[in-house]
Amino acid sequence: MLKSTEHGVLKKSEVYFSSPSQTAKKLYYYPISAGHFFCVKGYHLIRKNYNSLLITHIIDGTFTFVKDGRHITARAGDTVILDCYQPHEYYTNDNFESIWIHLSGANSFELFEEIEKGDGSLVKCRDIHHVKKLLFRIYDSISGVNPPSELNMSLDIYKLFAELLNPQSIKSKGEANYEENIQEIKDYIAENLNEKLTVQKLADRTLMSISHFSRVFKQQTGFSPYEYVLITRLNKAKYLLQKTEMSVAAIAYETGFNSESNFICFFTENEGVSPGKFRKLQF
């Protein structure tokens, strides 16, 4: 155990460090350090890099971090994930208590990017008690005398990522209920696949701006509008190839592709086989 000497970190705060095995570095998610911090006004960290991701859960008070020049404040119950491979900065204007880990390994950075695309660096998790429990379990694992189970810690870190990838829905955040709007758009997409379905066109049908519509759609479906249209087209094409005798060219038109060659390229890239070969497969 080490006591932090950083300005603004109270003496009751604790931090522990962990050295992963070569197996963990190759295969697992692993913690680099973990801490339970109590900080007061004056705590302000500016660092070029720490070669890790940071996940910190705010138990009490306020924690402010800087992202693209914006100062974003997390409060009790919020969880923050930051890319510490890049320059980073965070502080408090009053005080906070947090449980945190620096981590790396496996595809952690790709998961971080997926979280950022959906909800940004500040995440309001559905089950904050589970998030807190997972973080304390990892913290307790590396604070003990005996070497921790790296596989168990890797599983706990993955569970943390899962919580961050599945944040509170827009409805539970107190915003308007957009479920009916998005269902109408999904129905419209399914019924008009052979049309040019731009994000602007879909957003106009909901009377939302493109950015707001895209955010709501992603929250409700897990896909961007563009991704959802392509996946729907692909699924419809697979159905028509298996269930009808329509030509590949006709299916390309029916599912909204501007040419047979574009459809074949897209289908082959996503399915690993051409439409003609897919049609011959037995399901």
Task: Check residue 122 and give its pLDDT.
Answer: 94
Residue 173's pLDDT band, with cuts at 50, 70 and 90, is very low
- Cα–Cα dist 175/172, whole Å: 7
**Rounded mean pLDDT, 121-133:** 93
Assigned fold of 14-168: Jelly Rolls (2.60.120)
Q: What is the DSSP code (8-state) at residue 173?
A: G
Task: Check residue 5 and give its pLDDT.
Answer: 66
Q: What digits encode the pLDDT tens for the residues 8-41?
A: 999 999 999 999 999 999 999 999 999 999 999 9
Residue intervals of the chain classified under CATH 1.10.10.60 are 179-280
**Structural domain 179-280, CATH architecture:** Orthogonal Bundle (1.10)
Q: What digits encode the pLDDT tens for the residues 40-94?
A: 999 999 999 999 999 999 999 999 999 989 999 999 999 999 999 999 999 999 9
Task: Check residue 174 and give its pLDDT.
Answer: 44
C-alpha 260, offset from chain centre: 35
Tell me whether residue 27 is exposed, middle or buried, using C-beta atoms within 10 angstroms of its C-beta: 0 to 12, 13 to 18, 19 or more.
middle
H helices, E strands: number in the chain: 11, 9
Q: What is the DSSP code (8-state) at residue 145?
A: S
241's CB contacts (< 8 A; 6+ apart) are 248, 251, 275, 278, 279
pTM of the model: 0.65
Residue intervals of the chain classified under CATH 2.60.120.280 are 14-168
Residue 2's pLDDT band, with cuts at 50, 70 and 90, is low
Q: What digits encode the pLDDT tens for the residues 210-265?
A: 998 998 898 888 889 999 999 999 999 999 999 999 999 999 999 999 899 999 99
Alpha carbon dihedral 175, 126, 110, 217, in 10-degree steps, equals -30
Task: Check residue 227 and give its pLDDT.
Answer: 93
C-alpha 266, offset from chain centre: 26
First to last CA, the chain: 58
71's CB contacts (< 8 A; 6+ apart) are 64, 65
H or E element that contains 233: helix 225-243
C-alpha 165, offset from chain centre: 4
Task: Check residue 74 and give its pLDDT.
Answer: 95
Q: What is the DSSP code (8-state) at residue 244?
A: -
